[in-house]
Amino acid sequence: MIARYMMRTHHAHMCAWHPVGMLYLIDVSHHNGSIDWGRVAHSGITGAIIKATQGTGYVDPRYTINIAGARKAGLVTGAYHFLTHGHGARQCDHFLAATGNPEGLLIALDVEQAGVTSIDVTDWCTRWRELHPTHPLLIYCAHASWHQLTGDFSGARYGHLWAARYPYAGTGTASALWERASQKSPGLPWGGWTSWTLWQYSDRAQVPGVSGHCDVSVYAGTPAELAELTTSQEDDMPITSTDVDAIAAACAQAVWRDDLNIRIGGSTPNSENVAARTLLQARSRATQARNIVNGLDVETLAAAVAQRLATSTTGAVVIDPVVLAAAITDELAERITAGSGTGS
């Protein structure tokens, strides 16, 4: 996915061990019991990401209470969905039914449950982008579990990384734990991410107002920058539908060439064009893409996409439309990044 919010240079994308300018956030669920949010806010915690839903039917029983309490205490608030296997789009709809308008919220997808696949992630995120194309999305995962569940699928096309890694096993305050953890890093790159936006560096923080231990994360930036992740970003330079049609048509025709011996979904170039176009149109585009697309040689792009597919196959194969769309967007992402220099 080439979304505008993904191509913005965000101040959170700093070296993982940089100890200056850090904001602390906790994430909680009903397992943390009753929380004194006033004490949490006075302890130096900046924000809280609260479990809202899981699967297609579960709503955390303390979500409404927690979100109201955190907001009243003046914390930056967020909501997360715990992803399970199957019916990714329905899970996204369930999350939105429970949380309502996402404006003003950090939105996160928790990817850690055994059995979850890259298809589940894709279905949830695609549905999210259909409904809220420019609202930032955080994807929570750890390196090992992401690789095990998705085969190191490129999640970077869908959202910012909320990395999970605990370098230090002890307990302590958020700042004390970070002083130790900051000497390490989350172990990037993985999943297409080369930098992190949030890093959950401990699950044993001692936070006033929360009984027992809780998860704590760090954000490298200012409160104003963190607040940007809670609001939709205007997509003021979108790729037009005509551009998308041209790209999809050229790529579909290129991978249909007899010399590559590749067929798309066992169907026809025409129907694949529709499938690729539909997937691509569902996504917002990076601001930098406009200038690149305006002067884009679609034949060159098509050949590059075809080469991506051909080098990973031998003999006659059937390419799923999702695979083709991924190859197209990956190729565009590289061109956008190269064309923007620093990516800003």
Domains, the chain: 4-228 (3.20.20.80), 241-340 (no CATH)
Encode pLDDT of 118-165 as tens digits.
999 999 999 998 899 889 999 999 999 999 999 888 888 889 999 999
Q: By C-alpha distance, which of 239, 214, 219, 215 is closest to 328?
A: 239
**Token pair listed for 317:** 């194969």
Tokens 């249909």, residue located: 256
Lowest-confidence region among 23-32, 97-106, 268-277, 333-342: 268-277
Name which residue leads in pLDDT, 274 or 175: 175
Cα–Cα distance list, 54 to 91, 103, 110, 112, 161 (Å) = 8, 21, 9, 12, 20
Name which residue leads in pLDDT, 14 or 182: 182
DSSP lists the bridge partners of residue 47 as 25, 76
Encode pLDDT of 77-90 as tens digits.
999 999 999 999 99
Average pLDDT, the chain: 77
pLDDT at 341: 46
Q: What is the 3-state secondary structure (H, E, C) of the chain?
A: CCCHHHHCCCCCCCCCCCCCCEEEEEEECHHHCCCCHHHHHHCCCCEEEEEEEECCCEECCCHHHHHHHHHHCCCEEEEEEECCCCCHHHHHHHHHHHHCCCCCCEEEEECCCCCCCHHHHHHHHHHHHHHCCCCCCEEEECHHHHHHHHCCCCHHHCCEEEEECCCCCCCECHHHHHHHHCCCCCCCCECCECCCCEEEEEEEECCCCCCCCEEEEEEECCHHHHHHCCCCCCCCCCCCHHHHHHHHHHHHHHCCCHHHCEEECCCCHHHHHHHHHHHHHCCCCCCCHHHHHHCCCHHHHHHHHHHHHHCCCCCCEEECHHHHHHHHHHHHHHHHHHHHCCCC
For residue 76, pLDDT beyond 70: yes
pLDDT at 173: 96
pLDDT at 275: 47
**Token pair listed for 176:** 């004390």
Q: What percent of the chain has pLDDT over 70?
A: 62
Q: For residue 31, what are the contacts with CB-CB under 8 A and spacing of at least 6?
A: none
pLDDT at 244: 52
pLDDT at 189: 86
For residue 262, pLDDT beyond 60: no
Phi, psi of 217 (to 5 degrees): -125, 165
Q: Model confidence at 302, in pLDDT bands (50, 70, 90)?
A: low
Lowest-confidence region among 13-27, 167-181, 242-256: 242-256
Which one-letter amino acid corresponds to residue 80? Y
pTM of the complete model: 0.68
DSSP lists the bridge partners of residue 216 as 26, 202
pLDDT at 247: 56
3-38 CB burial, b ≥16 within 10 A, e <16? bbbbbbebbbbbebeeeeebbbbbbbbeebeebbbe
**Token pair listed for 10:** 């965000």
Name which residue leads in pLDDT, 158 or 39: 39
Name which residue leads in pLDDT, 269 or 157: 157
Mean pLDDT of 171-195: 92
For residue 281, pLDDT beyond 90: no
Name which residue leads in pLDDT, 248 or 300: 300
pLDDT at 332: 66
pLDDT at 152: 80
Q: Model confidence at 44, in pLDDT bands (50, 70, 90)?
A: very high
For residue 205, pLDDT beyond 90: yes
Cα first-last separation, the chain: 18
Q: By C-alpha distance, which of 208, 194, 200 is closest to 78?
A: 200
Name which residue leads in pLDDT, 205 or 334: 205
Lowest-confidence region among 76-90, 196-210, 282-296: 282-296
pLDDT at 133: 86
Encode pLDDT of 206-257 as tens digits.
999 999 999 999 998 899 999 999 999 765 444 444 555 555 555 555 444 4
